[in-house]
Amino acid sequence: MSHVETSRRSLHNSASVKTMRRELPFSCRQTWVHAFVLFGVSLWLLALAQPALAVDQQASQEAYERGVQAFEKADYPEAYDAYKAAWTAEHSYRNAAGLGQVELHLGRYRDAAEHLDYSLRHLPETASRSRRRLEQGLNSALKHVALLRFDLVPETARLSINGMAVHYSLYATGVFVKPGLQTLSVSADGYQVDSQRIRTLGGSERRVEVRLKPQASAAAVPAASLPNPAEPTESKPLTVKVDPSADTLRTAALVTGAGFALVGIGAGVALKLRSAAARDDKNDKRGTITNDGGTCVGDNPHELCTQLAAHASDEDDYGSWGSIALISGGLFAGATVAGIFFWPTSDAKAAEADAAEAKAVGMDSVRVLPVVSHHKTGLWLNGKF
């Protein structure tokens, strides 16, 4: 290697090092610029969020003060609207307590129990006086609602009550529901859906345990039960015997099914009519209470409130049993109609005529066998022709 080439390479390497030294500070400066830009954007977003947060807190405070003033004047509808606005602006134990107390006066027992329970669970430990007052209110609300706690398997199960989804955090703490029929639906990916209906009573507490069953999958057939593909598989001949007494059994089953269908449908219609009558009685009692200026909420309920509750319960009970009876009658009717069209009949004379005709043409002994192999599938006929 000549001295000139060595010098050129040395100059080239020196130039590369100088270029890297010039580029390195620029890359570092670019990184710092990006960092400062991100930091500035973060401060800007935080500055935008602060006024919105302050507005929500201010709106909550103003609405809460309006609720307190209306509550002190016993203007419970106005207090409800104010406390509701405060709760919407800010979920705090104070807003929940005010909203729960006014809901208790308005007879919204389920909502009152939910908000008073929230307030108690988030109340500071130092507020012992407020805790006692909230506990008294919650106990009053619990007399009119039911508390459901759930133990679901798998843990990823989803729950809905009367078509409304329930947050998973409430499964163990409990869900407040109005007394009456509750439709529960529990589902999870890879599991069969479990639906059930339960009846709840005011002032009751119940734990519901649901274990979902995995969805049925195509189970593998044991190898021993499969036919050998190398050899044809023949089954035994199919011999069909027509019992002359089959018509008697068929007739008895159809008559019984028709009877059950008529009884179920008739009972369902009667129960539905009774439910409608109870509904009319309930509406009459409600109209009388309204015309008298009475109410069923508070310490002095109207004297007809007990009858109103009884008619409402009759409407619910008769309506539910009527639906069950109609569905049962419909099932029996459907099964009876299906039996009429698809249940085979025996005709001794037709069978004898067919046998005589087969014997006359030399086909009185014919066997039909299904054949399955690895290269063919079909029917094998054997007989005299």
Give pLDDT tens digits for 87-134: 999 989 999 999 999 999 999 999 999 999 999 999 988 888 889 999
Domain 1-142 maps to which CATH number in 1.10.3720.10, 1.20.120.1760, 3.90.79.10, 1.25.40.10? 1.25.40.10
Alpha carbons 177 and 289: distance in angstroms, whole number = 26
Please state which CATH class domain 145-214 belongs to.
Answer: mainly beta
Give pLDDT tens digits for 347-369: 444 445 445 544 544 444 445 45
Range ranked top by mean pLDDT from 89-93, 231-235, 380-384: 89-93
> Residue 335 contacts by C-beta under 8 Å, 6 or more apart in sequence?
257
Give pLDDT tens digits for 279-325: 888 888 778 877 777 777 666 777 777 787 888 888 888 888 889 98
Alpha carbons 248 and 252: distance in angstroms, whole number = 6
Q: Who has greater pLDDT, 183 or 280?
A: 183
Q: Where are the domains of the chain?
A: 1-142, 145-214, 229-243+348-385, 246-345
Token pair in block for residue 179: 């007394």
Residues paired with 11 in a beta bridge: none
Q: How confident is the model at residue 327 (pLDDT cuts 50, 70, 90)?
A: very high
Contact 302, 296 (CB under 8 A): yes
